[in-house]
Amino acid sequence: MNKPNVLLITVDQMRIFEMGCYTKEKILKNMHLTPNINALAKKSVQFNNAFTPNPVCTPARSCILSGQYSRRCIGSVGNACEELTDRKRFPDITLAEKFKTEGYDTAIIGKWHIHDNPYSLGFNNAIYTSIHHKNKQQTFYTNKTKNIIEGNNYEYELNQTQKFLKEHKDKPFFLFHNISLPHMPYFDIDEQYLKKFVDNPPPFRKNVEIPKDKDFLINWFKIYYYDYLYYMHKGKEYENLPEGFDLKTLYAMYCGAITAADMQVGRILQTIKELSLEKNTIITFVSDHGDNMGSHALFNKDVSYEESIHIPFLILCPDAVPFKCNDLVTLLDITPTLFELCNFNYSNCYDGISLKDLIYKKIKLKRNKIFFETPQGEIGCRTKRFLYSAKITLKDYVGNNLPPKIPCFRFFDLKNDPYQLNNLAEAKLLNPYIEKKKTELNKAVNNWHATTPWFKPNI
């Protein structure tokens, strides 16, 4: 391909377990939550072992754009509240900047949720939301003008993406389209999706626990239903839940939000087809992180469980043979992979690796583990079989490179315990092989933490 177009689609907080192309649950497969993404997967390289480097919005999205761990690119492991006017982070050339220097027109449309403004990171065009989580009556920054858009966000975002694609039918582009769903809130999602599965809710994962603390549970119900309107603007109108609201209702709404996100993916892909851009467009689809949704009696994300870190990851190259891949990959790989797929020269400043030879030649990666960290002070790694994490206090964590003395926090043998019900962190009678792996992963995680530097932004 001569200067292929690049379309990068992200969804927010979508884990793999409800997706037809990933799930092994027949009931969920038959519910057809993600028909458009499933169709894309059949034409793509589908990575079955893909993980986020940080299961929270801002750091994960920063990792995508930088190809670096969040501590390296933004000096932080937590969320941003609002954008800065000037670039204070991202010390190295970003994904969008590289495409811009190579003669591509660059655009971000949809959710942003990164510290620095998109123009400072290499985007020529930026149409993004002022409020991170809201589905209707949203305020958009549209190429430096501020507009309140009535109705659904997604209609405006999709219209803007369609317009951009039509205008760039004959010139190379890098388009970063960010879908806000299935992230909460749920109250302002169209009823056709909000209530789609409420009368026939899907089965819970086998590790879902209903918390004994009812106040804790109700608080999370309100966060999912109203998001920031509840926890930042507390008022009577944000205290009420629909009658009979329970965990089944919440999960059904999450599944409806997944289907709403899938619809948006389908609309974008249809536009690509209608404009005859399929033969010269690389399409990447990922989620920034997952959602615990009651597994382990937890909600939201930001912890070292599969429900938080295991994500969908698809790459469609028009001239590559589709297949399902079990190699370990991470969001950090997007930047170097897209650079190589487009035949760019680039410096060796990225933490991810190129997947080009894996995609085209099925050459297995030498990597046997990937690393992640969370705002909760958890530092961990994932192999094909094991999930390991260590934990220290945030006071000792942020900005420090500590010696390798962090004890084991969670350790799961996913081959024998796929739902992570048996934490082996403090188990005394492990077989020699499992004990050896625990020791090896402890050493690897501690070494990663001690040797991976922090960026100190000038703020």
* pLDDT tens digits, 56-70: 999 999 999 999 999
Q: Do 304 and 441 form a contact (C-beta atoms < 8 A)?
A: no
Residue found by looking up tokens 């589709």 in the block: 322
Q: Do 95 and 66 form a contact (C-beta atoms < 8 A)?
A: yes
- Counts for the chain of helices (H) and strands (E), in that order: 15, 14
Alpha-carbon span 250 to 235, nearest angstrom: 21
Task: Please give the model's pTM, rounded to 2 decimal places.
Answer: 0.96
* Strand pairing report for 386-391 and 408-413: antiparallel
Low-confidence ranges of the chain (pLDDT < 50): none
Which pLDDT score, from 0 to 100, does residue 428 have? 86
Write the burial class of residue 112 (CB in 10 Å: 0-12 exposed, 13-18 middle, 19+ buried): buried
What is the DSSP code (8-state) at residue 329?
E
Question: pLDDT tens-digit profile of 244-262?
Answer: 999 999 999 999 999 999 9
Which pLDDT score, from 0 to 100, does residue 241 have? 95
Which pLDDT score, from 0 to 100, does residue 79 have? 87
C-alpha closest to that of 15 among 43, 44, 47, 51: 51
Alpha-carbon span 150 to 436, nearest angstrom: 58
Alpha helix (H) residue ranges in 13-140:
26-31, 35-42, 57-66, 70-73, 95-101
Alpha-carbon span 309 to 15, nearest angstrom: 8
